Amino acid sequence: MSLSVSLHDAESAILNAPLAALALGPDTRLGPVGTALDKALGGVIARAIADREFRGARDEVLHLTGGERGARRVLLVGIGTPAQKVMAYRRAGALAARRAKGLGAAALAFHAPGITVGNELEAMVAGLMAGPWEYADLKTPVPEAERRAPLEKLMVVVGDARKAKAAFDAGVALGEGQAIARTLAMMPGNLCTPQHLADTAKAIGKRHDLPVTVLGRKELEQLGCGSFLSVAQGTPQDPKLVVIEYMKGKKTQKPIALVGKGVCFDSGGISIKPAPGMEFMKFDMSGAAGVLGAMETIARLKLKVNVVGLLGATTNMPSGTAINPGDVVKSMIGKSIEITNTDAEGRLILADVLGYAHRYQPSVIIDAATLTGACVIALGHHATGAFGNDERVLNEVIAAGKRGAEQAWPLPLWDDYKEQISSDVADLKNTGGRPAGSVTAALFLREFIPADTPWVHLDIAGTAYSESDLVALPKGPTGIPVGTFVHFVRGRAS
């Protein structure tokens, strides 16, 4: 399916669309574009609002049919009275486009009269692209006669296209990056292998002329990445440490390092997971997918900044060669680790990827990982857990998430919890028991960060993937943390 997205300020775009959508809150005025549409339709919109058939509540959708002239059909989409307008407009865009697809409309013209800020428009455009996204590669197509018309055209209608152009372009770039991340997360583990993640990185590199380095088992052995390799010990697939460099900033500027956990399937290893729901562990590479999606968007935006994207990819499998609980391994930076649970594999991989990141002397490191079930218990599915060794940078990342319509919430990274990961036989152990499981995981990662490097860890276990339908998005991957990464990097670009 090819879906084009275009920007318009001619009212004719919305007046003549087969399907027009307006995003409105309880008090949003229709504005000139909305009023023109309403007039062309003989006043049905104003009447629906006056009669309270449509109140503008969150996720409320009223479907009207057109009149003699004007758009053939109209959707009024409610945004409610949100605390976060960026979140609300992303959601409204996604919901409208998802409905458009369900209705079999070939084209949707969307207008949000309440938008005043670039970030809102950008999020709305990315939302429009996110709503109809699907992973249909592995399904036999529905017979032509039973198929609805595919949604082929998204038209974003604004008051002044010249003024809106930059935000619109950014929204499209973000939408493309998020689509890459979602496709990778949705792909089954037998297709989205470590090799496939490496190939995707190479494809992004080729598209934007960026150097990509791929290290396999042999190279990781030479580097002494015993922690990463301990996870990959039970799988015949070659693990991959992948680096994409985007160095378009000043030569003297130290790069931002974006790091992602790329476990293409997490069975738990010898500490095997229970069978129910294990299939979702194909998504355990969402952090890595986020890095790749962000690199795509950053390159499309041609930001003047230096960024290094790093990911550690493998599967976590039980086998005769797999690592056992009680085994001790040595990480690249030299710290020894007692593995008390082979299912706490993400931190073992990241230990060495973070160690490897040192060589780029990053100004800041942000990692994203579907790291702990405990984070899902703490924050559920609506906030990413955020940890950091530098409060200012932590707040900078959380603020970037807000601008990108991705919510994160801080959790403590206090030394008080450190005792939980001290080992009797090694420098550290890889689990700290049930209490504060996401905190002890983050403390483990901190051991592999140079003390003077600001670092933020994002636990996206609850936010990267949804097992239930999210109204605006179908169940499956959300695209998180691409928006957070991109907005952070953009905030630091010159």
Residues belonging to the active site? 273, 347
Cβ proximity to ligand BES: between 262 and 404 the closer is: 262
How many whole angstroms separate alpha carbon 80 and alpha carbon 85?
Answer: 10
Is residue 374 involved in binding ligand BES (CB under 6 A)? yes
Residues 197 and 311 sit within 8 Å (Cβ to Cβ): yes
User: Please, what is the minimum distance in Å from the beta carbon of residue 281 to Zn ion?
Assistant: 7
59, 5 contact by CB (below 8 A) = no
272: contact with ligand BES by CB under 6 A: no
- Residue 370 makes contact with ligand BES by CB under 6 A: yes
Stretch that binds Mn ion, among 124-132, 342-350, 388-396, 406-414 (CB under 5 A): 342-350
**How far apart are CB 34 and Mn ion at their closest, in Å?**
50
Is the Cβ of residue 45 or residue 374 nearer to ligand BES in the bound state? 374
Residue 344 binding ligand BES, by CB under 6 A: yes
Q: Is the dihedral of CA 332, 335, 338, 344 positive or negative?
A: negative
- Per rule CB under 5 A, is residue 205 in the interface with Zn ion? no
Please name the residue that has the structure tokens 């956990």.
261
Chosen residue from 11, 284, 396, 447 binding ligand BES by CB under 6 A: 284
What DSSP string describes 307-364? EEEEEEEEEE--STTS--TT-EEE-TTS-EEE-S-TT--HHHHHHHHHHHHGGG--SE
Question: Quick one: 331 or 370, whose CB is closer to ligand BES?
Answer: 370
Residues 277-306 that bind Zn ion (CB under 5 A): 284
Per CB under 6 A, the segment of 82-90, 158-166, 225-233, 368-376 that binds ligand BES is 368-376
> What's the farthest any 2 CA atoms get from each other in the chain?
80
Q: Which is nearer to Zn ion, 171 or 290 (CB)?
A: 290
Residues in the chain: 494
Binding status of residue 56 toward Zn ion by CB under 5 A: no
Instruction: List the structure tokens of 392.
Output: 């200012």
**By the rule CB under 5 A, 343 interacts with Mn ion:** yes
d(CA 409, CA 395): 10
Pure H helices in 370-411 = 373-379, 391-403
Which residues would be at the binding site for ligand BES (CB under 6 A)? Answer: 266, 284, 341, 343-346, 370-374, 376, 431, 437, 461
Which residues would be at the binding site for Mn ion (CB under 5 A)? Answer: 266, 343, 345
